[in-house]
Every structure is written in C-alpha cells, then in structure tokens.
Amino acid sequence: MRELDVFYCPRCGYYAYYQTSRHPQCPKCPSQDAMSMARIHYAEFMHMSCKERDEYLSQAILSSNPSLIKRLTAPSQKYDSHNLIAEMNTVIMNLDTENKILSDTVKWMHDTIWELLREKRQTADSQAAASLEPCGDTDGK
Ligand SMILES: [Zn+2]
C-alpha cells in the first residue's frame, strides 16, 4: 500500500495529503493546475507547525520556479540609480505634459464659463431694459 504524499499547489500554496502517484489537481485554483509533490515525508511535514509548513512550501515553490526568483530579484539588479533617475524623469515629463493639458482645459472651461455668463448677463440686461422701456419705470432694478 502506498504511503501518503504531500502535494502542494505551486500557484496558491494549497496543500493536501494524497495516496496517489498521479499528481492531483488543485481544488482551490480555477485553472485546476496539477499539484506538485513535496520532497518530504508526509509524517515529517505533518509534525511541522503551520509557519514551518508555509516556509517549507514557499521554498519549494520558489526553487521549482526559477523565473519567479528572477522576477523577484530583478528590480535590485536592473535598476542602478542612473536608470531609475532616467525612468523617473520620463514619468515626471509625462506628468508635466498631462498637467499642462489639464490646466489648458481648465483655462478654456473658465473662459467659456465667463463668456457664457457675460452673454447671459447682457441678454438679461437687454431684456430688462426692453421690459422697462414701455412704462419707463426704474424701480425694478
Ligand atoms: Zn492552487
């Protein structure tokens, strides 16, 4: 009879004990990825604390996924300060441009609103003047 093995999902970290040589699918992940078998005796694994299990599985997941390690350590290697400064300058320039466009828009809206208000006031004035004209009453103003 086969012994239990510890299987874990390299995607979400879910683990379970199975009595199978076939790699089971992760019941937690929608993609139902095949789970990996941990290289540890299940009894040893079961005696670990939850924290130790988490640490063990994180190590296992990391070592089974070299590209993940690469991605995690990439930023510190990739960005020397020159690159970082250049990149930030680009971001600042983009923000500057965006800001200019926005303030132009605000200025345009401001002008438009004032123009509309002026027109409205002129219309109101001429209407008021027109309505006042026939009787010559100035009290209403
Ligand atoms: Zn999973």
Per-position DSSP letters for 18-59, written without gaps between them: E--SSPPBPSSSTT-PBPEEEEEEHHHHHTS-HHHHHHHHHH
43 Cα–ligand 1 center, Å: 22
Terminal-residue alpha carbon distance, the chain:
104
Residue 65's pLDDT is: 73
Helix (H) or strand (E) holding 100: helix 81-132
5 Cα–ligand 1 center, Å: 17
Residue 66's pLDDT is: 72
Please give the backbone phi and psi of residue 55, each rounded to the nearest 5 degrees, phi first.
-65, -45
Measured between alpha carbons, how far is 65 from 71 in angstroms, rounded to an integer? 10
Q: Indicate the SS3 state at residue 64.
A: coil
The pLDDT-based confidence of 7 (bands split at 50, 70, 90) is very high
Encoded tokens for 45: 């694994």
Q: What's the pLDDT tens digit per position in 46-56? A: 999 998 998 89
14 Cα–ligand 1 center, Å: 6
18 Cα–ligand 1 center, Å: 15
The pLDDT-based confidence of 83 (bands split at 50, 70, 90) is confident
**Mean of all residue pLDDT scores within the chain:** 81
Order of strands across the sheet that contains 5-8: 15-18, 5-8, 36-41
Among 47, 50, 49, CA closest to 13: 50
pTM given for the model: 0.47
35 Cα–ligand 1 center, Å: 7
Q: What's the pLDDT tens digit per position in 96-121? A: 888 888 888 888 888 888 888 888 88
The pLDDT-based confidence of 1 (bands split at 50, 70, 90) is low
